[in-house]
Amino acid sequence: MSPRIQLGSSPALRSRRSRRAGRWAAICAGLVASLWLGASLLGLRAPAARAIGERTAVELRTVDYAGGNAAPRPNAAKRLAWEVRQRTSVETRLETTLVRLSDASVYDSPLLYWSGDRAFPPLSEAELQGLARFVDFGGFVVIDDASPDDNGFDASVRRELARAFGARALVRLDNKHVIFRSFYLVARPVGRVEGPAYVEGVERAGRLALVYTRHDLGGAFERDNLGNYAHAVLPGAERQREQAFRLGVNLVLYALCLDYKDDQVHAPFIMRRWQGDRERWGRARP
């Protein structure tokens, strides 16, 4: 063990150094506290993602497209990811990315958030094919109209969905659909605006593959850089905003669990039936 060496110094020098060190410590502590507070306000302090590696955590990728506004609510997807992580056991990625439907990497993450606030020109054939293949291979798309008061984005979305899936593919979903009870019990869809009492969707191979909402969910989720909500929610204010978050959480849970909540209704009955089987026929051998 090496001997300890003490450097000699005068008491005055030690005192000056001590005061200087105290100031630096205070400045550093303040800086750390500010960063912590800022991060908290921005909603960026979160438990680490628990999947093996970031790639398997759930990411809400935003669809990028030409000619319109692909990100009218720039941090809405991130906000929703944060809320899902806080409220449920789902492990989400807080850093979200933009992706084109024609990009080969679109298949890496099976959940897309597609938003806009104005009309956009027709998608390319490659993008249309990418959308259809994404859905057919198991992906789930949430389309959110950020300007439900005008029909620009709405008309463009309907045109593209008709091109990709056929004119009658988009259908209204009533409030008994499992998306309204995949985590929260949600009575009706709302977002920044109250909007229609329904959402629409496209079903493929017996599952809901795409949801289209005209409630500006992203507008209800959006916060500014100081952590304040960016848009007023009308007419229901904060209670309506909470309902919007619950619908958003439900959509993510549906993407991950599909009709699991339908199973839950049936499971006790199925198990009781099996129990009855065993009582009637003796113990089953596995």
Partner 1 sequence: MSQLRFAVPFGVPSVLVLAALALLLIALGFRELSGVEPPGRRRGLLALRVASALMAFLCAAQPQWIVQRVEELPGRIAVLLDSSRSMQIRDGGEDRLSRAVQAAQRFYDGARDKPALFGFGADAQPLARAQLDAKQLTPGDDTRIVRALSTLTNGQMPELGAVLLISDGADRSPSFDPSQLGRLGVRVHTLVVGEAAEQRDVAIESVRIDGAAFLRQPVNIEVTVRSTPTAHDPVTLSLRSGSELVRETSIHFDDRGLATAQLSLIPTRLGRSVYTLSVPADADDTVPENNERAFQIEVTRERLRALLVCGHPSWDARFLRALLKSDPAVDLITFFILRTQNDNSLAAPDELSLIPFPTEELFEQHLKSFDLIIFQDFDFAPYQMARFLPRIHDYVLNGGSFAMLGGDRSFGAGGYGSTPIAEILPVTLPERAPYVEESEFAPDVAIEAAHHPLVELAPRLSDNLSAWQKLAPLSGVNLVQGLRRGAHALLVHPQLTAANGQPMPVLSVHSPGRGRSLALTTDSAFRWGMATAGRSGDASAYERFWDRALRWLARDPLLDSAQISTDRPSYGPASAMRVSLWLRDELYRPLSPGPFRLTVHDDRGQLVAEASAETDSEGRASLSLLAPPRPAAYTIAVQKEGAQQSLAEQGFVVEAGGDELANPRARPDLMRQIAEATGGEHWSAGAELPDASRLASSRTRALGNDVYTPFGGVAAFAALLVLLGLDWWARRRAGLR
The least distance separating partner 1 from the CB of residue 79, rounded to whole angstroms, comes to 14
Which residue among 5, 7, 12, 104 contacts partner 1 (CB under 8 A)? 104
DSSP 190: -
Query: Toward partner 1, which CB reaches closer, 133 or 163?
Result: 133
Alpha-carbon distance of 20 to 259, in angstroms, equals 63
Q: Of 104-112, 117-125, 152-160, 232-240, which part binds partner 1 (CB under 8 A)?
A: 104-112
Query: Toward partner 1, which CB reaches closer, 106 or 173?
Result: 106
Which residue among 64, 91, 154, 194 contacts partner 1 (CB under 8 A)? 91
Which residue among 14, 50, 172, 239 contacts partner 1 (CB under 8 A)? 50
Query: Toward partner 1, which CB reaches closer, 119 or 257?
Result: 257
CB atoms within 10 A of CB 253: 23
Which residue among 108, 125, 149, 174 contacts partner 1 (CB under 8 A)? 108
> Restricting to residues 148-167, which ones interact with partner 1 according to CB under 8 A?
none
Alpha-carbon distance of 56 to 233, in angstroms, equals 34
Residue 5's Cβ-count burial label (10 Å; 0-12, 13-18, 19+) is exposed
Which residue among 8, 11, 47, 235 contacts partner 1 (CB under 8 A)? 47
**Residue in this structure with the two tokens 């989720």, named with its chain if needed:** 221
Angle at 244 between CA 94 and CA 258, to 5 degrees: 70
Token code pair at residue 180 = 């309204």
Which residue among 42, 64, 87, 163 contacts partner 1 (CB under 8 A)? 87
208 binds partner 1 (CB under 8 A): no
263 binds partner 1 (CB under 8 A): yes
Beta bridge partners of 211: 142, 201
The least distance separating partner 1 from the CB of residue 44, rounded to whole angstroms, comes to 17
255 binds partner 1 (CB under 8 A): yes
Alpha-carbon distance of 69 to 230, in angstroms, equals 18
Beta bridge partners of 58: 92
> Restricting to residues 188-207, which ones interact with partner 1 according to CB under 8 A?
206-207
Alpha-carbon distance of 213 to 73, in angstroms, equals 15
**Dihedral of alpha carbons 213, 157, 253, 74, sign:** negative
Which residue among 38, 64, 88, 154 contacts partner 1 (CB under 8 A)? 88
176 binds partner 1 (CB under 8 A): no
Amino acid code (one letter) for 181: R
Asked if residue 115 lies in contact with residue 76, where contact means CB atoms within 8 angstroms, the answer is: yes
CA dihedral 88, 90, 95, 99 (to 10 degrees): -120
The least distance separating partner 1 from the CB of residue 121, rounded to whole angstroms, comes to 25
Footprint on this chain of partner 1 (rule: CB under 8 A): 47, 50-56, 58, 86-91, 104-110, 133-134, 137-139, 181-185, 206-207, 242, 246, 253, 255-261, 263-264, 267, 270-271, 274-275, 277-278, 280-286
